[in-house]
Structure 1
Amino acid sequence: MFTVATLLYDDVRAFDFGVISEVWGMDRVSGGLPGFELRRCSAGARPVRMFPGATVSATHDLDGLDGADLVVVPGRDTPFAPVEPAVLDALRGAHARGVPIGSLCAGAFVLAAAGLLDGRRAVTHWALADRLAAGHPEVRVEPDVLFTEDRGIWTGAGTVGGVDLCLELVRRSHGAGVANAIARRMVTAAHRTGGQAQFIERPIPPVTTTRSALAETMDWARSHLDRPLTVAELARRARSAPRTFARHFTEATGTTPARWLVAQRIAEAQRLLETEDLSVEQIAARCGFGTTTMLRRHFLRAVGTTPTVYRRTFARV
């Protein structure tokens, strides 16, 4: 059974803890999904006061991180406060054993205090990014992304960005099919494109005909990924000029049409590799990459492995 240890300490944010519990703490085995063991680890296995006021009991002392397949650190309401040395030592020990470690939102400050982000790329809530960079200049803060991974250390952006990170961690350990199934049960997107920049201090734009046409165009593109789609073609579907379409698309999604299309093609390739007995050449054509070389190049960049190795790991056929 895949074991996840979540680190608990005072003022941990209840939302972050709830996301972790929803992803790895729910028993979905009867629905055909794999089982997880979620360990709640605190110093001395003591109960922990969460923000904004609830208390959560621990199932393990900090030695609960031993033997875990993954360690996840939720953020806390006091991100700049000192962290117990025992907590930092436990994180360093897990990292030394080669265990992947992820943090949600302000949890990045805990990883930074442990020295685990030194020389690594990291993200936190956009409102805290400057403080993280100022307090830990050795960390390469990337404020605009939803999550980052750098040599086994994962960090997620603010609040709902933690959902993105947790689902990505499931995708990396158990495949896109399991991550998608959990996302459906959570009634959330399995993978959001774009970055955190799209959420920084901007009002939500009203629903307009242009935005409606954009959504329809995106739905149409997802069902025609086998075609060599261009921005000009998508703009025609949205009844817009290409330059105007590209601008509206980036404003709405936080990414360009070209990057969004690649992300959709990769997601479809993952699904086909897991569920269909098709050759890599057929999958490349079905997803619109044209050649296996292009599929492998984009797949390796996005997923960190080759289509063949991914299929060997996650195929259900």
Structure 2
Amino acid sequence: MPSKTAKPAREGRRKIVIVAYERAKLLDVCGALQAFSDARQEDGHSAYQVAVVSEAGGLVATDTGLMLQTARLDETTLQSVDTLLVVGFDPAMPPVTTASLRARLANYLDRPRRLGSICTGAFILAELGVLDGLEATTHWIVCNRLKQEHPAIKVNPDAIFVTSGRIWTSAGVSAGIDMALAMIEDDLGHLAALDVARGMVLFLKRPGGQSQFSVELRQQMRDARGRFEDLHDWIRNNLEADLSVQTLAEVARMSPRNFARVYLRETGESPARAVEKLRTEAARRLLESAHDPIQVVARRAGFGDDERMRRAFVKAYGVSPQDYRGRFGRLQD
């Protein structure tokens, strides 16, 4: 994690270089760019000099189609660089310049004090071998893919961002802003980072992990052959019922012992853990969309009491149900 002791500011401004390319995610670039651009030293002057660069320079089309003006990635733009950040791309639309960009980046990896990636930019650093043996993260959708393609990386699928020495990696898209705020706090201290967060109307430290924003639960619950999909649908429609192994086995038309063994083999988790996940997912949806008291949500989601739901919710999402509703619940009528 970042240092909790503010480091003395260097003379002048630290230089941040953000590496873009065709089809790069626009928010990956602009989120970090805005945070660093808003940061101020104690005297009120800009704390950072921020440059957006690309392999050849000039106009680069982002994933949204919006064109960004960039400088050329070369000796000049990387002179005295403090932090080098590689942004991400839409996994369904791989960037068209990654191979040649990697070759150019390889020449400069030792230059910056900090080297990092935003979102799927982790794949570019991974291809360069930078993340081998280190803990890292990326967008939750492709964490498994990163782990499979680069088994030497210790992938943390729930972290908003991860620091491993001088290497920083962040989760999907807006998490790049969280990481930028943490870097600002590391450089300039808590108050400077808090000022930026307030100006951007953001949490300085976002509670919880990626799981509170993802919708991966249905995918996690689905075994490769879809053997228990009907059972999962039945559970979702009967959350207040007795969902013991005996009951689930009867629904699945299997003996309890065989059901528990096969379920664990096919899904990678026990039936009890699966039920807890599905109940927690249902509670999350109710907290986002309904005005029911917490106790009623706990009953409707099958937890029985709010304390049992609170424990499961904190384990799954890193925040209490009350805190989650305060941040993501529907406004009162």
Q: TM-score, normalised by structure 2?
A: 0.61
1:35 aligns with 2:21: no
Structure 2 SS opposite 1:57: strand
List gaps (5 residues or longer) in structure 1. Answer: 212-239, 261-317
> Which residue number in structure 2 is paired with residue 57 of structure 1?
69
Displacement of 1:143: 0.7
Q: Does 1:11 align with 2:23?
A: yes
- State yes or no: 1:197 paired with 2:211: yes
Q: What's the counterpart of residue 44 of structure 1?
A: 56
Tell me the distance in 1 between the aligned counterparts of 2:64 and 2:126: 24
The match for 1:135 among 149, 154, 157 is: 149
The structure with the greater share of residues assigned to helix is 1
What is the CA distance between 1:95 and its match in structure 2? 3.1
1:210 and 2:275 aligned: no
Question: Aligned runs of 1:220-259 on 2, under 5 Å?
Answer: 242-250=307-315, 254-255=317-318
What is the total number of aligned residue pairs between the two structures?
Answer: 230
Following superposition, the deviation at residue 156 of structure 1 comes to 0.6
Paired residue secondary structure (1:181): helix
Higher mean C-alpha displacement, 76-85 vs 143-152: 76-85
The partner residue of 1:68 within 74, 81, 99 is 81
Does the CA-based 8 Å contact 1:83-1:110 persist in structure 2?
A: no
Residue in structure 1 matching 2:36, options 24, 49, 54: 24
- 1:124 maps to 138
CA displacement, residues 154-191 of structure 1 (integer Å, 9 cap, x when unaligned): 11111222221111111111111111110000001110
SS at match of 1:65: coil
Deviations 1:247-285 (A, max 9, x none): 34445xx2267xx9xxxxxxxxxxxxxxxxxxxxxxxxx
Distance 1:95-1:14 versus aligned 2 partners, 3 A rule: same
- Is 1:174 the counterpart of 2:258 in the alignment? no
Distance in 1 of aligned mates of 2:113 and 2:102 = 15
Aligned residues of 1:66 and 1:94 also touching (Cα < 8 A)? no
Whether the 8 Å contact between 2:137 and 2:157 is mirrored in structure 1 is yes
Q: Residue 45 of structure 1: CA displacement? A: 2.0
Contact 2:86 2:118 in 1 (8 A): yes
Shift of 1:101: 1.1
Mark the CA change 1:140 to 1:33 in structure 2 (over 3 Å): closer, same or farther: same
Structure 1 residue 31: deviation in Å?
Answer: 8.8
**C-alpha distance 133-200 of structure 1, shift in aligned 2 (>3 A):** same
Distance 1:23 1:255 in 2: 25
Distance 1:26 1:179, change over 3 A: closer
TM-score, normalised relative to structure 1: 0.64
Letter in 2 for 1:101: L
The verdict on how the C-alpha distance between 1:58 and 1:209 changes in structure 2, with shifts beyond 3 A counting, is: same
Structure 2: which 5+ residue stretches go unaligned?
1-12, 216-280, 296-304, 324-333
Percent identity of the aligned residues?
A: 26
Matched, 1:151 2:165: yes
Which is higher, the Rg of structure 1 or of structure 2? 2
- Aligned-residue Cα RMSD (Å) equals 3.0
Contact kept in structure 1, 2:22 and 2:97, CA below 8 Å? no
Highest RCO, 1 vs 2 (Cα 8 Å, sep ≥ 6): 2
| Matching of residue 163 in structure 1 with residue 163 in structure 2 | no
